[in-house]
Chains A and B, each alone.
Chain A
């Protein structure tokens, strides 16, 4: 009896099958519980739309050339997109670490770059899914006009990408679920809230204008909102360059961290 000698599978420069498998695993993870991961954030952003319009909408005529609700809607959509992009990658790594299934990520023939790309794309997919659902949900209450689809698309992808990468960083760093909750409570939410989603930054008193201009979330929301209402509070060029640079930096950082196995390998 003779056996053919075992052959190992050959992969080219990129392991496409592995990349696609990890990506679909990440997508199925959130799609399985879509009520919690897609519908719930949409409900929350609709609630925000309701309370802000009711509490403030009656005193203001227009802001940036549109009604207060129209001004608010893109910011709220962007906020839920980025929060969910962050939640997807951070919870995925965290759960794998706590349950010990992180080996399933580290053992297969995937390069650090492939791991980062597949996971980040999973987070972006969740962000875009939430964004689409939120647009549909809000269109029942607020007229949603598209001024420039290119800006909407660019900012939607760049912002989800950045937060998905921050989620990987957070998931790698965190040692228990409390740490992820702390990052969400004390970092992500404050940045998102003070980003000019709820007001026109131009009309703020100092020091708030300066604070807003140092906040990357401000550029995500401002550029995204420009795509809908055609009015921006800050410089769009600065915002887009900043988002590209931040994404590049984070990609490099996550790639290095996974390559050296920081807090992932014993």
Chain B
């Protein structure tokens, strides 16, 4: 090692040479992923422990309510039905919130250039962001499942099915969140997406009740709700019983994810609501 300074001529030549990378800018991708994941984990008091407490409360009130109006045995089976749905709901809503808030925050603060300027392609940008949201969503889900396991048996019977549906569902909501973040112009829009879209779609997706208690029309409506298939698949992973065909569910989720990814790739390339 020499500490000798470079001659000016060599330094200029080095600076003029563009950095080279292959087909994929791995460093850029990893940097974006790390930045997004750190951002998602930073406020863990509210974004991780908040949902954990909320889910335990849901289990408590459902269990207590079922216990007061029903035989105690049924409360247990009701909780075993609800718990996987709550875990999946938290994974998906966390993925959505993270993706949507990240883009909107950058847009409003004028920091979005930091994501647009570096040499990363739209596909890399999409992969880095969605990957981080899926990871943080799944991490939240794992913590939640472990805490829930103290009260309700949460040992998975079909871990691979569980993983497949958890990833597909989290990815779908991450992509939807990115789309929402691109579309939104104010925080009101973000809140409206959550209250009027994500939460109703999840709550009415058969998270809390089997779909055969529903009247015909509501059942048909549930069957076209993609969140229903994600939650149903995850419930199969934990309990070994599903209400709809897993193959249909997986195919539908893959198709929706592919369509969303295609749309977002186009929107990122054009800079829709990003470049003025």
Give the interface of A toward B (CB within 8 A).
33, 35-36, 40, 43-44, 47, 50-52, 54-56, 58-60, 63, 68, 178, 181-182, 185-186, 189-190, 193-194, 197-200, 203-205, 208
Taking a contact as CB atoms under 8 Å apart, the answer to whether A55 and B199 are in contact is no
Q: How far is the CB of B243 from chain A (nearest CB, A)?
A: 14
By a CB distance below 8 angstroms, the chain B residues around A203 are 68-69
Interface presence of B269 (CB below 8 A) = no
B68: min CB distance to chain A, Å: 4
CB distance from B127 to the nearest CB of A (A): 30
On chain B, the residues within 8 Å of A194 by CB distance are 57, 60-61
Which residues of chain A are within 8 angstroms of B70 by Cβ–Cβ distance?
56, 59-60
Does B57 contact A189, Cβ atoms closer than 8 Å? yes
Question: Do B195 and A56 have beta carbons less than 8 Å apart?
Answer: no
Q: What B residues does A204 contact at CB under 8 A?
A: 64, 67-68
Assembly CA distance A44 to B199 (angstroms): 8
* Given known A51-B203, A56-B65, A199-B68, contact A40–B46 (CB-CB < 8 A): no
Given contacts A52-B208, A55-B78, A185-B49, 17 further A-B contacts (CB under 8 A): A36-B188, A43-B200, A51-B209, A54-B208, A55-B62, A56-B62, A56-B66, A60-B69, A68-B69, A181-B50, A186-B50, A189-B53, A193-B60, A199-B64, A200-B68, A203-B68, A208-B64
Interface pairs (20), CB distance under 8 Å? A35-B192, A47-B200, A50-B203, A52-B208, A55-B62, A55-B209, A56-B70, A59-B66, A63-B68, A182-B45, A185-B46, A186-B53, A190-B53, A193-B61, A198-B62, A199-B67, A199-B69, A204-B68, A205-B67, A208-B64
10 tightest CB-CB pairs across the interface, nearest first?
A: A60-B69, A203-B68, A185-B50, A199-B65, A40-B195, A54-B209, A51-B208, A55-B209, A193-B57, A55-B208
B166 to chain A minimum Cβ distance, whole angstroms, is 22
Residues of B within 8 A of A199 (CB): 61, 64-65, 67-69
Contacts of B214 in A (CB 8 A): 54
The answer to whether B57 touches A47 (Cβ under 8 A) is: no
Determine how close the nearest CB of chain A comes to the CB of B196; give it in whole angstroms.
7
Instruction: Kindly state whether residue B43 has any CB partner on chain A within 8 Å.
Output: yes
CA distance A35 to B190 in the complex (A): 13
Tell me, in angstroms, the Cα distance from A190 to B74 when the chains sit together: 24
Which residue on chain B has the smallest CB distance to residue A60?
B69
Interface residues of B in 68-91 (CB under 8 A from A): 68-70, 74, 78, 82
Dominant SS among interface residues on chain B: helix
CB–CB B53/A56 < 8 A: no
Instruction: Report Cα–Cα, A43/B67, bound state, in Å.
Output: 27
Q: Which residues of B contact A (CB under 8 A)?
A: 43, 45-46, 49-50, 53-54, 57-58, 60-62, 64-70, 74, 78, 82, 188, 191-192, 195-196, 199-200, 203-204, 207-209, 213-214
Tell me if B192 and A36 are in contact (CB < 8 A). yes
- Residues in A with CB closer than 8 Å to B200 are 43, 47
Q: A36-B192, A40-B195, A55-B78 in contact; A47/B43 too (CB < 8 A)?
A: no
Cβ contacts under 8 Å, A189 to chain B: 53-54, 57
> With A and B bound together, what is the CA distance between A181 and B211 in angstroms?
34
B50 to A, closest residue via Cβ: A185
**B86 → chain A, closest Cβ, in Å?**
11
Residues of A near B61 (CB, < 8 A) are 193-194, 197-199
**Distance between A72 CB and nearest chain B CB, rounded to angstroms:** 9
Instruction: Please name all residues of chain A whose beta carbon is closer than 8 Å to the beta carbon of B192 when the two chains form the complex.
Output: 35-36, 40
Verify A198–B46 contact, CB threshold 8 A: no
- A98 to B178: give the CA distance in the assembly, Å: 28
Closest Cβ of chain B to A134, distance in Å, is: 14
The complex places the Cα of A119 from the Cα of B21 at a distance, in Å, of: 59
Find out whether the CB atom of B43 lies under 8 angstroms from the CB atom of A178: yes
A135 to B50, CA, bound (A): 29
CB distance from A200 to the nearest CB of B (A): 6
Bound together, the chains give a CA A33 to CA B127 distance in angstroms of 35
Docked-complex contact B213 and A58, CB < 8 angstroms: yes
* B50 surroundings in chain A (CB, below 8 A): 181-182, 185-186
What CA separation (Å) do A58 and B208 show in the bound complex? 13
Specify which chain B residues have a CB less than 8 angstroms from the CB of A200 in the assembled complex: 68
Query: A178 and B57: CB pair below 8 A?
Result: no
Query: Please, which residue of chain B has its CB at the minimum distance from the CB of A199?
Result: B65
Interchain nearest-CB distance for B43 vs A (Å): 6
Closest to A62 in B: B69
State the Cβ distance, B99 to closest chain A Cβ, in Å.
Answer: 19
- A60 to B65 Cα, complex, angstroms: 10
Interface residue from A50, A58, A178 paired with B204 (Cβ < 8 Å): A50
For A35, the chain B residues whose CB sits under 8 A away are: 188, 192
- Give CA–CA (A63, B69) in the complex, Å: 8
The answer to whether A40 and B68 touch across the interface, beta carbons within 8 angstroms, is: no
Structural contact, B54 and A185, CB atoms closer than 8 A: yes
Docked Cα-Cα span, A54 to B209, in Å, equals 6
